[in-house]
Every structure is written in structure tokens, then in C-alpha cells.
Amino acid sequence: MLNALIRWSISNRWVVNLLALVWLLLGVYSTFQMPVDVFPDFAPIQVVVLTEAPGFAPEEVESAVTRPLEVGLNGTANVKVVRSISTVGLSVITVIFHDGSNIFTARQLVSEKLQGARAKLPAGVKDPVLAPITTAAGDILKIGLYSTGQTSPMELRTLADWTIRMRLLSVGGVSNVVVIGGEVKQYQVLVDPNRLRQYDVTLEQVLAAAGGSSINAAGGILRTNEKEQLIRGLGRVSAPSEIAESVITSRNGSPVLLKNVATVKVGPEFQIGDAIVDGHPGVVLTVFKQPWSNTLDLTHNLEQALTEMKGSFPADVRTVITFRQADFIELAIRNVCEAVILGGALVMLILFVFLQNWRTAFISLTAIPLSLLSAIIILKFQGYTINTMTLGGLAIAIGEVVDDAIVDVENIYRRLRENQISSPAQNAFKVVYQASLEVRGSVVYATFIVALVFLPVLSLGGLEGKIFSPLAYSYLVSLFSSLAVALTVTPSLCYMLLRLPKNLARGETKTVEYLKKLYLPLIRFSLSRPKTVISSAVCLFFVSLVPLTVMGSEFLPEFDENNLIVVTNSMPGTSLHTTTAIGRELISHFVKQHDIVAASQRAGRAEGGEDFGAGNFSEFDIRLKPESKNRRDILYHVRHEFAHVPGLIADSGSYLQHRMEHALSGVNAAIAIKIFGADLDILHEKAKEVEGVMKTIGGAVDVHVEPIIPVPQISIKINRGVAARYGVTVKQLSASIEAAFKGVAVAQVLEGQKTFDIYVLLQPEFRDNLALIQSVLIDTPSGAKIPLGSLAEVKEGESPNTISHENISRRVYVQANVSGRDLGGVIDEARSKIASKVKLPSGYYIIYGGQFEAQEAAAKQLSILSATAVMGMLLLLSLAFKSVRAAALIMANLPLALVGGVWAVLFGGAVISVGSLVGFITLFGISTRNGIMLVTHFNHLLSTSQSDFEEVIVQSALERLSPVLMTALTAALGVLPIAILGGAGRELEKPLAIVILGGMITSTALTLIVIPALLKVFGADLAPIKRAGG
């Protein structure tokens, strides 16, 4: 079939090349149509369930809300892990599904489970809701607002909530916009208990009067003979003075108004979160995208919408972009594209140096755009995005997509040149066709061998699979596209451009002649001392295994990203005001640094957001100039500044690093040591012991325990017996307590398109004083008014600030990052020391999570799958050559390639990452191609040549020197820019490129020397075997 395809392509060369041109244009079009993102979506499918329980302490939220919901969700199909946080008034449950799950199916399954669990929730708990659909890296833009003049925090927040947020939500592709900071506007009815007693009015009456103060009535329709008119009762209020005039009741014939017992005014909602922007009190809007949205296009659309709105802002309002994910994407894509272009240029240089003929160079080079753009078309059809990994696969493949074409062109050119001086000369069509068939077997089998070797990468699971599988897929699609080009376009172009004698040189190029002159003595030496050469190669291989014993390991390298994130926790119970005061001082210092563009702090949690932080929690976003070269120094400086704040625990890193770490373990750190058990005090005690051990380990930084220290609280414990004697139910008393101290939204005020709550609660002095809290009067059915202290015990106490679960078990973690040392070394030392120094009670256990866990899983999976792939290679080569010995001779390239790869890793940092392991797999596939070319040609000459055995080896080695060197150099130089340049977007591919570069050097050099020696010793029995694919 392939023979017929080659013949048809040469016969219909104009059709083939016209179709290739159309395909090329389609590829260019597809390139501009594909969505662009930073990385493949690496996070597992997850559904977040938010349940508000106003007034509930963390322990009550855990027992009354989180646990019933967890039990209800337990057993949901395809669920991998369930994590939860119970904090003051809020339960956050994250249900993580196995790879391959569908987000919409997952949300449907969770919704169905919640239907049954809702009935078990106590009164006062709101219905669980699902958070909007987004991804782990879904927050793509953070917009800071602050005022330099008269605009108040309330006006700033109103602008953010009702103008900016609404406009941004209307942009296609936006999933959610979360606002934090400023003051949320409320119409407040602040009740004075003393005046309630004076007017003999109950709090329930005030609630009813305030709730009925802003209502419109529908009066039906007035019909006359000529028309119909709508009857409306307009009772909605528009100002505090109108609310104050609302009637509660009457006493002695006089109305009692709200203003008689309460102060009615516009005021700020009780703050649970705040923001600092560039050192100023402000507001931060975080924009989340839908999973399928194009990040770059969406960012540009959002920025355009923001620009359009700025003209309507007050003159003193400033907008600052404090986080922009597109910065890294744009820089990363640009860097990877530069690597592709530089790699392509180096490949072109190699072709011109070796071929020194523009026609042969042009034919070979056509494989690059055709193969890469074919891959783009297929990737687009499969639903992939253009990201650093798919582009990385193309960048690595750029030196290899010309290999098949080089082999074909070189062989056709040489056969046409030989035919030119032979007598009689054969028809050019026949020469081109037979020359293509001569190498067809090696080209096809080499491509399938590479594909087989890459199957382990495609089979990776977890986060590492989501990251590297697109790279492997784009790489393989490029290679198979290059095979299609070599079987169709290359022979047709060769016939069109090379068939005339005037287009052929009389002899080989001076470069090739010189290289053969240098190579011939090496072959003679190898053949004269084959056992010495083989034994030396074996010794070199075993010596190269020694560095593996001293190398460190890591999951992924650090990203050269311009978006830094610092997550901080201070002592639980720390006020929001104190947290923002610290943040304001730090940010004011940071924004003075040269390379820092903007900085912001988000403290506490946003209303309606998925965050669960209390007043002691905050996140800082620090945006650097995209082209900044001082990222490491700035990160060190940031860590240093936070470390000098007393009582502050800080975890610093890049945005993507935090997101990947959280996707791996649920913790924003490289190492997460999780302790499971039932008693929170014991968990915290053991966590502190683990923390102490971790702080003694070199390279471990940002070490701290999950903060679960008890925080002060005022508890109101209802005395059921006393309450019953007065006829007051627990429900009535609970409602009164909520209304008095937390406040209740009873109605709304409409201001144009804006809606603001009318809130009823006690005046601040009655809410902030323990003695006055006890004196608050509670109404009874008999009309008597009883002090709260007589119906309930009011006292100060303590409660854990948060309680974490994983798979329904209580959990406390110790987290740490790594700096100046490999991740594997830190983990090995930690495991050893913790095992010897931390003794756990029965029923308590430790699980180590984080990046290293994924690294170990990936290494184990790749080892098993790679061993299987090597066996598959041996089987495929044995079938192709009908000889196990021939297959073994070809696979001798694998240890020869390993030698250079190992030494390249050693001198490149001595740390093996998942990228390095993928590099070794790629290297084995590439190096096998050279062995196939040599052994296939040797086999061909052995069956057709009349020369003696040793001369056949010499002839086959010399004739394959040029294509072997060209394919090896193009493969090595194609990845050279990635290996030496580094920078944003190249972090994951750089370890891979270093391995390929080092391995190709030793593999090629040793292949040209060792393979002839192996053929001398073991190749004689190959004489009767037909060449592969012949």
C-alpha cells in the first residue's frame, strides 16, 4: 500500500503539491483560530458546595452541616476525594472527581446527592449552593480600585458592585466576578433597647414594621370604555427618613414610629473582608473564566470593557491591574515561538551545510511547516488549545520532522547522482521511486518505534499526565505528519526539482567528503578492535549510572512567572483592621521596588466567594514587569519582609505553582504533611511536633502548621427550662438573638438599578459590651420583657477557628516549600526524622502529599510503562527484521543515549524531574532511528553487495554518515534554544531538552563507532535476512 502511495504521489506530483499548499493555508488559518491558554487544564474536575450557617461556630458547622453533607455525598460515582473546611458560619466542601469525568455530569451527581442531605440540616442553615464552574487557574484578572480624593469606601464599593461587576459579567466567557473590600451599603435600623422599653415595643414589632416599610402593592386594572389603567400602590422607600417614619404601633392614641426607638441611617455592612491596593484602602475584583474560554481573548475583552467604563468613574478613582494571567501566557508563548523559530533556523543551517544545494534543502525544509501545521489542524480538531505544552511538543519535534525527509532526499539525491554516471542511465521516475522504497522501511519503522516509546507519556495519569500528555500528543502528531510528508510530498518534489542532470552535483559536498575522511579511520579502528570498543562502551555505560545515585528529584521546576502570591495567617482572632494595617505597610514598601508594577491584599473573605478565611487570613498579589530578570531576588526579598512581621505565617510563591500544589494536595505548598485523627488538640500537638522537625531540615522554608488555634467567642447558651416557664421557644429566642446581634435583612431599597438591604440590629454599644448583651430584653408571649441573661448563659469562651476534613476524617496539615535543595532530598530526610521523633497515638496516622507524591507516582508509572514499551520495541523490531539479533543491535543505541542524557542532567543541575524522565523517553525513540538506518542499510548491502563482510560494514556506515549526522544534529539543535535559553514558558520543556541534547551527542558519536563494532562481532548471521520492509 505504501509503495502504491509513493508511486501515485510521484505520478500525480502537481496534485500532491497543490493539496499540500491548500493544507498549509488551512494550517495557518487554524493557528489563528485556536484558543490560547497558559497550560492544559491540569486540575481535576471538582464541584464546590457552599453552605452558609449564620451564627454557627466552626464545631457546630462541622457537626450540623459539613458532616451530614459529607455523608450524603459519600459514595457519589467516580469521586476521588472529598475535602472540607468548617469555619464560622460557613461550610465549604470540595468534591474532586477522577480523571475523565464530565463537569456537568459531576455537578448533576452532586446536586442529586444534596437533595437528600438538605433535609438533615438544622433550622437557620441556608440551602447548599454549587459554586460557579471554573478551573484551578480560572482567576485570570484582578482589578484594584482606590480613591485619591473624596470618593468614600462605600461609594467605591457601590461602583465596583453595580457598575464594574455587572459590565464584566456580561463579557462572554466570564464565569464569576468576586468583589472584596470597601464598604457594602446598607439602610440600617439601629435599635436602642432602652427606647424599646420606654415605648413598650418589642424587637419583633420593629422587625415587622421595618419589613413592611418598603413595599409596592398591585391594585389590579381599572377598566373604562376607552382604555385600561394599571393600579399601583407605591410604598417603596428611597431614603432613611422615609423608613424612619414607618409606624410600629400606637400608644395612647399616638403612633410609635421607627425613629422613636431606633436610629435609621445609611451605613456599612459588617465587614468580613477588606482590600488594600498599592498601599491604599480599596476594592479588588477577581474575574473568573469559564473552563472553555480563550484566556487571551477574554482578557483583552475585559480590558476593553474596563477602558470603556473608566470615563464614567469619579475623577479621583484609580484602577490598577494587580494580577493578569495573560502576562505569563503572552511571554511564554512568545518565548516558545522564539525557540521554534531559532530551532528551525539552526535546522536550516545544518541542511545547507550538509547539502549545499538549495533544491534539496528546500525539499527537506518543506517538511517543517507542513508537519507542524498539520499537527495544529489535528490538535484544533481534537479540541486542544495552543499552550506552552502543545507548543513545546512542536518545538521538540521541529528537529525531527525533517528526519524522514532528510533520509528520503539524501538517498534519492545520491541515487540520481549515481545514475547520472552509470551506463546506461535509468529513467529518473524509476530511480526516484526505487530510492524512496529503499529507505521506506527504515522511515516507517523508525516513526512507529518513536510512537511506541511515547505511549508511556500519553498514558500518564494525574496532574503530570494532564500537563505532559498534550506535549506528547502534539509531538507524535507532528512525527506522523512528517511521515506522511516523506511518503508523498518529498518524493514528488524530488522528481520535480532533481530529475534533470543539471540540478545534480557531480560529487558529494566538501563538508560530507571532509567528514567521511575523518570518519574512515574511526571505522577502521572500530573494526580492528571491536571487543575493545564494545567493552569500553559497556564500561562507560555503567560509569554513567553512578551520577544517578547522587542526583536529587523534583516534580516540576519553578516557574519563571511575573505573578507572585503570598498567603498569610496571623494569630486566630486577629482583627481584620490589624491584618489590613500590616498589609498596607508591606504593600507601600513593595510598590516602591523597581520591577514591581502593582500589589494588593485581600484580607478575610469576600461576600459570596469560595474563600473561607477569617480576619487573620489574607492573600497578597504582587505583579512584576513581565520582562523582569530579578524575579528570584524579589521573591527572596518578599519572603524576607514577611518573615520579619511578628506572629505572621507566610507562604510565598508563583501563581501557577500555588495552583498546581493545591490541585495535588489541597494545600498551597510543595510539601503537605497531613495528620489524621479524631481529637483536634492531639492533632494540633502532633502537628507542632512535625513542624519542629521540619524546621531543622535544610532547604525547607515557609514551614508552618495549619492554624486551628482556638479563637475567643461569646456564647449564648439557652436555658430551656427557664425559657419554657416564660413560654419562649428556642426558635423564638434564637431568632431574637440573631436579629439583635447579627442583624436581619427585612426589606430592600431600590436606587435605580441598584438594590440595597434594610437591616435591623441593635446599636453598636449594645452589641460590643458583654454586660449590655446580658441586659437586652426578650419579649415573652405574656407581654413581659425578660433580660437575655435570665433566659440564657452569656459568657466568653473559645472555639477552633477552622476544622478541616479529608474523606470525612479530621485533618491538620504541616506545609513547607523547598528552596536551595531538591524536593526528593528534603522529603527523604523529613520521613526519616518524623518517623523517629514523632510518636502518634493509636488511630492517628500521617500521609505525605504534595509535589513529591506526584513525582514518585509519575516516576513509578513511567518506569513500568517504559519497560513495557522497550519490550514492545524489541518485538516490533524483531518482526520487522525477522531477527532478534538485528533488533538487539539497533537497541544498543538506548544505553549509548542514556550516557549523554545522564551527564547532561548532572551538569544541568543534577535534579531529575518528570520533564527529565519524559526527555529520556523521547531520547530513546530518537536514537533508535539512527540504529534502524544503519542496520537497515547494512542489511540491504549485505544482501546485494559483492564486497567482503568488513567492507560492507564500512560502505554502509559511510553511506549513512550524512543522514545520521543530519538527523542527529537537527534533532539536537532543534531543542538547543529551549535547553540554553530558559525563561517563562520553557520551564517544563528545558529539562526534557537538556536530556535530548546531551543524549544525542553521545548516542550519535557512539553509534557511529560502536554499532560497526557490534556488526563485526554479531552481524555475520544477518546475511540471509532481507531488509526491513523490502
> What is the band of 608 on the pLDDT scale with cuts at 50, 70, 90?
low
How many other CB atoms are there within 10 angstroms of residue 449's CB atom? 25
**ω before 424 within 30° of 0 (cis)?**
yes
Integer angstrom CA distances of residue 134 from 114, 142, 607, 874: 20, 15, 18, 45
Mean pLDDT of all residues belonging to the chain: 83
DSSP E strands: which ranges in 561-645?
563-569, 596-604, 617-624
In the block, residue with C-alpha cell 436602642: 192
Read off the C-alpha cell for 563. Answer: 505573578
- Could you give the CA distance from residue 437 to residue 1028 in angstroms, rounded to a whole number? 11
pLDDT tops 90 at residue 171: yes
Residues 852 and 824 sit within 8 Å (Cβ to Cβ): yes
pLDDT score for 274:
92
- Could you give the CA distance from residue 712 to residue 700 in angstroms, rounded to a whole number? 32
Residues 522 and 391 sit within 8 Å (Cβ to Cβ): no
- Could you give the CA distance from residue 729 to residue 878 in angstroms, rounded to a whole number? 85
- Could you give the CA distance from residue 405 to residue 963 in angstroms, rounded to a whole number? 10
At 577, the amino acid letter reads: H
Residue-wise pLDDT tens digits, 346-356: 878 887 887 77
Residues 568 and 642 sit within 8 Å (Cβ to Cβ): yes
pLDDT score for 265:
92
pLDDT score for 845:
92
- Written as one string, the DSSP assignment of 666-720 is SSSSSEEEEEE-S-HHHHHHHHHHHHHHHTTSTTEEEEEE----EEEEEEEEE-H
> What is the band of 391 on the pLDDT scale with cuts at 50, 70, 90?
confident
Q: How many helices (H) and strands (E) does the chain have?
A: 38, 32
Q: In 3-state terms, what secondary structure has residue 582?
A: helix
Q: Which of 844, 731, 839 is nearest to 778 (CA)?
A: 731
In the block, residue with C-alpha cell 447558651: 717
Residues 600 and 278 sit within 8 Å (Cβ to Cβ): yes
The burial of 1000, by beta-carbon neighbours within 10 Å (0-12 exposed, 13-18 middle, 19 or more buried), is given as buried
Residue-wise pLDDT tens digits, 282-322: 999 999 988 878 888 899 999 999 999 998 999 999 999 99
- Could you give the CA distance from residue 821 to residue 699 in angstroms, rounded to a whole number? 5
Residue-wise pLDDT tens digits, 173-231: 898 999 999 999 999 999 888 888 788 887 888 888 888 888 777 777 877 777 877 87
Q: Which of 840, 557, 871 is nearest to 686 (CA)?
A: 840
Which 8-state DSSP code applies to residue 909?
T
Read off the C-alpha cell for 551. Answer: 542526583
Which range (109-118, 499-508, 672-681, 683-692) has the least confidence?
499-508
Q: In 3-state terms, what secondary structure has residue 794?
A: strand
Q: Which of 566, 639, 552, 530 is nearest to 852 (CA)?
A: 552
Read off the C-alpha cell for 421. Answer: 554516471
pLDDT tops 70 at residue 609: no
Read off the C-alpha cell for 438. Answer: 529503499
- pTM of the complete model: 0.79
Read off the C-alpha cell for 373. Answer: 501545521
pLDDT tops 50 at residue 1029: no
Residue-wise pLDDT tens digits, 453-468: 778 888 777 777 888 8
Read off the C-alpha cell for 453. Answer: 516509546
Residues 835 and 828 sit within 8 Å (Cβ to Cβ): no
How many other CB atoms are there within 10 angstroms of residue 910's CB atom? 12
Residues 302 and 230 sit within 8 Å (Cβ to Cβ): no
- Could you give the CA distance from residue 474 to residue 336 in angstroms, rounded to a whole number? 14
pLDDT score for 610:
60
Angle at 840 between CA 834 and CA 842, to 5 degrees: 150
Average pLDDT (138-166) is: 92
- Could you give the CA distance from residue 91 to residue 61 in angstroms, rounded to a whole number? 6
Number of alpha carbons in the 13 Å side-chain half-sphere of residue 156: 31
> What is the band of 1027 on the pLDDT scale with cuts at 50, 70, 90?
very low
Read off the C-alpha cell for 818. Answer: 523547598
Read off the C-alpha cell for 13. Answer: 506530483
Average pLDDT (24-40) is: 84
Strand partners of residue 432? none
- Non-local CB neighbours of 517 within 8 Å, separated by 6+ positions: none
Residues 388 and 983 sit within 8 Å (Cβ to Cβ): no
Residue-wise pLDDT tens digits, 929-961: 777 877 877 877 777 777 788 888 888 888 888
Residues 718 and 735 sit within 8 Å (Cβ to Cβ): no
- Non-local CB neighbours of 134 within 8 Å, separated by 6+ positions: 175, 176, 288, 289, 290, 291
> What is the band of 1020 on the pLDDT scale with cuts at 50, 70, 90?
low
Integer angstrom CA distances of residue 543 from 549, 699, 898: 11, 29, 11
- 975 versus 614: the higher-pLDDT residue is 975
Torsion sign over Cα 440, 444, 447, 450: negative
- Could you give the CA distance from residue 765 to residue 192 in angstroms, rounded to a whole number? 9
Phi, psi values for residue 779, rounded to 5°: -80, 140
In the block, residue with C-alpha cell 516549600: 817
Q: Which of 805, 582, 844 is nearest to 690 (CA)?
A: 844
Which 8-state DSSP code applies to residue 665?
H
Residue-wise pLDDT tens digits, 554-606: 777 777 788 889 988 888 778 889 999 999 999 998 888 888 999 999 998 88
Read off the C-alpha cell for 259. Answer: 425613629
Strand partners of residue 813? 674
- Could you give the CA distance from residue 212 to residue 206 in angstroms, rounded to a whole number? 10
- Written as one string, the DSSP assignment of 484-543 is HHHHTHHHHHHHHHHSSGGGS-SS--HHHHHHHHHHHHHHHHHHHSHHHHHHHHHHHHHH
- Could you give the CA distance from residue 201 to residue 779 in angstroms, rounded to a whole number? 9
> What is the band of 1028 on the pLDDT scale with cuts at 50, 70, 90?
very low
In the block, residue with C-alpha cell 550519535: 1004
3-state SS of 340-394 is HHHHHHHHHHHHHHHHCCHHHHHHHHCHHHHHHHHHHHHHHHCCCCECHHHHHHH
How many other CB atoms are there within 10 angstroms of residue 110's CB atom? 23
Residue-wise pLDDT tens digits, 784-831: 778 877 888 777 777 777 888 988 899 998 988 888 787 888 888 898
pLDDT score for 711:
67
- Could you give the CA distance from residue 1021 to residue 286 in angstroms, rounded to a whole number? 71
- Non-local CB neighbours of 526 within 8 Å, separated by 6+ positions: 533, 1009, 1010, 1012, 1013, 1016
Backbone φ/ψ region at 704: left (φ over 0), alpha (ψ -120 to 50), beta: beta
Phi, psi values for residue 587, rounded to 5°: -65, -40
Torsion sign over Cα 177, 181, 186, 192: positive
Q: Which of 285, 283, 288, 284 is nearest to 171 (CA)?
A: 288
Domains of the chain: 1-33+356-507 (1.20.1640.10), 44-134 (3.30.70.1430), 185-218+231-268+726-791 (3.30.2090.10), 510-550+882-1030 (1.20.1640.10)
Residue-wise pLDDT tens digits, 400-410: 788 778 778 87
In the block, residue with C-alpha cell 462572554: 172
- 796 versus 482: the higher-pLDDT residue is 482
- Could you give the CA distance from residue 818 to residue 825 in angstroms, rounded to a whole number? 10
- Measured in residues, the chain has a length of 1030
- Non-local CB neighbours of 96 within 8 Å, separated by 6+ positions: 44, 45, 46, 79, 80, 81, 82, 83
